[in-house]
A and B are shown apart, each in its own frame.
Chain A
Amino acid sequence: TQLLEQSPQFLSIQEGENLTVYCNSSSVFSSLQWYRQEPGEGPVLLVTVVTGGEVKKLKRLTFQFGDARKDSSLHITAAQPGDTGLYLCAGGRSNDYKLSFGAGTTVTVRA
């Protein structure tokens, strides 16, 4: 059983469209990280959010941490083929250096 549930599992969209990926849990986390993984490579950190309600923007990517620190979302505006990859959310807790990863959302952006 995944501590963090991601949805949808798969997402295929046309270049230029917008998309949102969700990460939900019944547990509270002190921090939430988003990683992107490309085929044959390891995950690469995109962002870390630590405050409930926090919103961070990274170019066309917008990340939000829920007020109760149990959920997060990733929104991509005007998606490009380079955004294709597996997006993973990971939750961290105080006094614990472990991260709990969601199962991931596979995003495919068609040219």
Chain B
Amino acid sequence: DAGVIQSPRHEVTEMGQEVTLRCKPISGHDYLFWYRQTMMRGLELLIYFNNNVPIDDSGMPEDRFSAKMPNASFSTLKIQPSEPRDSAVYFCASSFTGSPGLEVDTQYFGPGTRLTVL
């Protein structure tokens, strides 16, 4: 079975450019999470969706960041305009809460997109 798929794996762009990161979650999963990982701040949750609906975007750094999930099999994270401090590895993860009352389930992470903003 395919795991979480992210594209591109690497992105190098110049300050001020728009960047779009893509994620395909595992089929059948109902939660999707976007994280950012840096040496300084570790792994930070940016936003998560349940059944394609954004539930909590309190981790999104500022208005330059936006995320969408138009359907159950696709999500995007967009940065416009990008800045050098946005350089990080961005992970997408998905999970399935199969049992009522089961509040914690395994999050399956994609391989990440390494973003470098010059």
A positions within 8 Å CB-CB of B: 2, 30-31, 33, 40-45, 48, 50, 88, 92, 94-104
Contacts and interface: CB of A to CB of B under 8 A. Distances in A.
Given A48-B106, A95-B103, A42 B42 contact: no
B48 A97 contact: yes
B60 to A, nearest CB: 13
A48 B102 CA distance: 12
B contact patch SS:
strand
A98 B56 contact: yes
Interface stretch (B12-20, B61-69, B75-83, B109-117): B109-117
Contact of A42 (B48, B91, B106): B91
Given A2-B42, A98-B48, A98-B56, A42 B103 contact: no
Nearest to A97: B31
Interface in B62-105: 91, 93, 95, 97, 103-104
Contacts of B42: 2, 101-104
B21 interface: no
Contacts of A102: 42
Contacts of B97: 97
Contacts of A92: 103-104
B26 interface: no
Most buried by B among A97, A99, A101: A97
